[in-house]
Structure 1
Amino acid sequence: MIFRLATRRDLPAMVALLSNPDEDVLVDPLTVEVGEAYLRAFEAVDADPRNELLVLDEGDGTVLGCLQLTYIPGLGRRGIERALIEAVRVRADRRGAGLGRALLTEAIARARTRGCGLVQLTSGKRRTDAHRFYDALGFVASHEGFKLPL
């Protein structure tokens, strides 16, 4: 297995992972419609040097997991850069084998190498298994998050 930056050909597999409301069901990437909005979003993220779409590849091009890593400069915490991890997913049929841990460990290592002083993420309140997973990796639920759909 290898970690690499996502390419446009990975988009159907990533959309299959991210757009499925039932995360425990495996969706065949060949059945996924990758519309113009997904293509625009991918191209924007891919072109932005402060963003990385990271995939865990079986070694044959099969995407087993993905996440987005965004580097955020800021004045808080004495001007440290922070890394935001979003859209973390591992294929339903491959969970429990340490792939999520490996994916997050790689993302954290990339943030460290870049000089970030903090890694943060959010997770839906009902995703209790994910919360236990993040806690086991050393993340602390230190803040209450708020969102405002526009």
Structure 2
Amino acid sequence: MIFREATRQDLPAVLALLADEDTVLDPASLVVGEAHERAFAAIGADPRNEMLVLTDGPSRTGEAAEADKADEVVLGCLQLTYIPGLGRDGQERALVEAVRIRADRRGSGLGAELMRLATERARARGCGLVQLTSSKRRTAAHRFYERLGFARSHEGFKLHLES
């Protein structure tokens, strides 16, 4: 397994994971729109944001690794956003979003590994807290996060803004 920052080449696979969490979609069947391109570019350009993937690729470096990326299968993804704040003695916190594991690979420990690696990344950056929200409908995801040690400590609110 390889845990790395997503490249533009990974974008269709990431969108496939986000489009339907219960089915394995062929990334080639999805249209990568202009808004997706802009958002992916903005994440990559922002030092406080990372789109990360877990792939089945071999652990190589250099030119061999670049050549192997074409054959890698994206098994999971998440976005990490680092938020500065005055609380917790000025420590950053890491916000985890868009956590997905391919439907046909769930239950194999990949989600726990993806979250472990993301948490370690946040810890190495000096974050004092990792937080996330999850749709109330995703009860299996809630049990998963609780098994990893996440606590239901707050009630979340969202306001959708219409364009």
Q: TM-score range by the shorter chain?
A: over 0.9
1:47 paired to 2:50: no
Q: Match of 2:131, as an amino acid?
A: Q
1:98 paired to 2:98: no
The aligned length equals 148
Match of 2:9 in 1: 9
Q: Summarize the alignment of residues 121-140 of structure 1 with structure 2, pairs less than 5 Å apart.
A: 121-140=132-151
Q: Summarize the alignment of residues 29-108 of structure 1 with structure 2, pairs less than 5 Å apart.
A: 29-59=27-57, 60-108=71-119
Q: Match of 2:8, as an amino acid?
A: R
Separation in 2 of the partners of 1:48 and 1:19? 24
**Runs of 4+ that moved beyond 3 A:** none
User: Which string of whole-angstrom CA distances, capped at 9 and with x for unpartnered residues, describes residues 61-113 of structure 1?
Assistant: 21000000010001122211100000000000110000000000000000000
TM-score of the pair, normalised by structure 1: 0.97
Q: Summarize the alignment of residues 9-28 of structure 1 with structure 2, pairs less than 5 Å apart.
A: 9-20=9-20, 23-28=21-26
3-state SS of 1:67 partner: strand
Q: Match of 2:77, as an amino acid?
A: C
Bigger CA drift: 59-68 or 104-113? Answer: 59-68
Separation in 2 of the partners of 1:147 and 1:134? 20
Separation in 1 of the partners of 2:106 and 2:19? 17
Structure whose alpha-carbon radius of gyration is higher: 2
Separation in 1 of the partners of 2:29 and 2:76? 18
Q: Match of 2:7, as an amino acid?
A: T
TM-score of the pair, normalised by structure 2: 0.89
Q: Match of 1:41, as an amino acid?
A: A
Separation in 1 of the partners of 2:128 and 2:113? 20
Q: Match of 2:45, as an amino acid?
A: A
Separation in 2 of the partners of 1:16 and 1:56? 14
Separation in 1 of the partners of 2:126 and 2:91? 8
Separation in 1 of the partners of 2:19 and 2:94? 23
